[in-house]
Amino acid sequence: MKNLFSSMLSIFPSKDEVKKAILLFSKREYFIFLGLVVILCISTLAILSKINKAFLVTIPAEGGILTEGIVGTPRFINPILATSLADQDLTSLVYSGLMRKDSSSKLIPDLAVSYEVSKDGLSYTFTLRDNIYFHDGKRVTVDDVIFTINALRDPVVTNPKKNNWENVNIEKKDDKTILFTISRPYASFLENTTLGIMPKHLWDRSPIELNETNINAIGSGPYKVKNIDKQSNGLINFYELESYKKYALGKPYIKNIILKFYANEEEMLSSLKNGEIQQASSITPSNALKLKDEDYRIESLTLPRIFGLFFNQSQNQIFTDKKITKAIGLAINKDNIVQDVLKEYGIVIDDPIPLNMLNYQKIKQSSSASQEEKIAQAEDILKKDGWIKGEDGFLEKTKTEKKVKTVTKLEFAISTSNAPELTRSATLIKEDLGKIGIKVEIKTFEIGNLNQSVIRPRKYDALLFGQIINNESDLFAFWHSSQRKDPGLNVALYTNAKVDKILEDAFITTDENLRIKKYAEFENEIEKDIPAIFLYSPDFIYLISKNVKGFALDQIITPPDRFLNSYLWYIETDNVWKIFQK
């Protein structure tokens, strides 16, 4: 074998023989040889590079800083008292719950490693992960979960989520296992468990509203507070957050997220153009159009918010006549509102259920009639009903009983917020209804005054208002007859025994297909009764840095939901061979 190997080597020239051969080259032959060697080296490197690239993949890498602007000032960075969007934005980054919604609103375990639901739908058992910690290094336990829920249920706390936990029995099985028992099946119960968990050892020392942890927030979410910059008057300029390596779903890629706070949108956008921030939240449609033209990256998604004109039959009797409410609905040019007010950052709606709330397509199709045809239909309906135009150009109806003549004017007032979008919408509605002879007065109020002096006592003819449908159970709050009076949210003061039964059955039905059938029945009843004219659902508009990757916005309920998958966002990247990819 050795002799065979030696004889094979003898075939190849030795180093000295190669050297001697090169010395015999002419100058021309030498340069040709040298050129061939260079070409061979370059070709070899190119082939190796191509082979290397074939095996390489780009993956997210840790690092980078992201700065975002927010309108508002944070005050309560905790899941119990967070009411403003500034509070909720920070809370969504700093805290985590037993469950978490992903970017498509699908529920996934967060602090919990698993959960079980009993066959009767009345018991939910959650098991916590093994190694979960708050940002101060203390372990998250069942005691912290129980403390948070009880704090939310405290009578002194005002939070819309409080109702979700009424009549829920909580039992600690051990430090990692907790059992929730409810009195009747509740389809949306799992969504309640996205509530951020607060560290008991920091919050049970003083009243929640006075605790310093409201500002120096400590949770178990993807980001922890690194630095807070305050003005001399106590107002906060910015929060600097850093990625939390012990976050239950994995350390976030982006190293730091800085949230800067502004008094108004103009100041925020000025900082954007100066390069002080890279992102901006909740942009108005008019500004979104300008920024898109300037080549900024704009992301938008329709919110599950139902804006409509809600009729108060108790305040103005004309709304008891379905012919009138039908004519009003036909005359309002919804497409014009979406185009003029929302700049097409929104959609026209005809129903009380948001298009993206339930996993089904609307069976009913929108009318294909032109606006001119709809106006003609509205005028015909009112004419046949006995309404004629008076000297002032508006419709009226004259009745004579016992030789006494009475004249009824077809008029009503719209009450709404002084927010520019709503006041402009009200103006367009007034113009549309004026075309068919209905006289409309517009009353605008500051939002706090609107809630306290108009909505709560139900002092309005028609209310131009928006309903936020967080989950299916909100439909009960907005349309069940038991919710007609404050603090109920049935602003149309709607009463229908059949609808009450449908909503009650849907509330306790865990079978999604059956619930969908129930809600289809609900929509049919609302369409027949016309207690409101549904107008539009607006978009959430988000200006996001072009450098951010991994961002997903498939479904959103509230603006803070944009951070649901923030732990998967990344700015930096790395190239590795596929075999080393996680």
Q: Tens-of-pLDDT digits for all 582 residues of the chain?
A: 555 445 544 555 666 666 666 666 677 766 777 777 788 788 777 776 676 666 667 789 999 999 999 999 999 999 999 989 999 999 999 999 999 998 878 899 999 999 999 999 999 999 999 999 999 999 999 999 999 999 999 888 877 788 889 889 999 999 899 999 999 888 889 999 999 999 999 998 778 888 889 999 999 999 999 999 999 888 999 999 999 999 999 999 999 999 999 999 999 999 999 999 999 998 999 999 999 999 999 999 999 999 999 999 999 999 999 999 999 999 999 999 999 999 999 999 999 998 877 655 455 555 678 999 999 999 999 999 999 999 999 999 988 777 778 889 999 999 999 999 999 999 999 999 999 999 999 999 998 899 999 999 999 999 999 998 888 888 998 999 999 998 889 999 999 999 999 999 988 888 888 888 999 999 999 999 999 999 999 999 999 999 999 998 788 888 999 999 999 999 999 876 666 565
Residue 20 Cα to chain centre, angstroms: 78
Q: Tell which CATH classification among 3.40.190.10, 2.60.40.10, 3.40.605.10, 3.40.1190.10 matches the domain 65-297+544-580.
A: 3.40.190.10
Number of H helices and E strands in the chain, helices first, is 17, 23
Sheet holding 395-401, edge to edge: 388-389, 395-401, 404-409
The reported pTM is 0.85
Contact 309, 463 (CB under 8 A): yes
Cβ atoms of 279 and 92 within 8 Å: the answer is: no
CA distance to 78, 93, 165, 195, 482, per residue, from 159 (Å): 12, 19, 11, 12, 20
CB-CB contact of 9 with 17 (8 Å): no
The ranges of the chain annotated as CATH 3.10.105.10 are 305-539
Cβ 257 vs Cβ 544: under 8 Å: no
The token duo for 77 is 């960075």
CATH 3.40.190.10 domain range(s) in the chain: 65-297+544-580
Which CATH fold would you assign to the domain 305-539? Answer: Dipeptide-binding Protein; domain 3 (3.10.105)
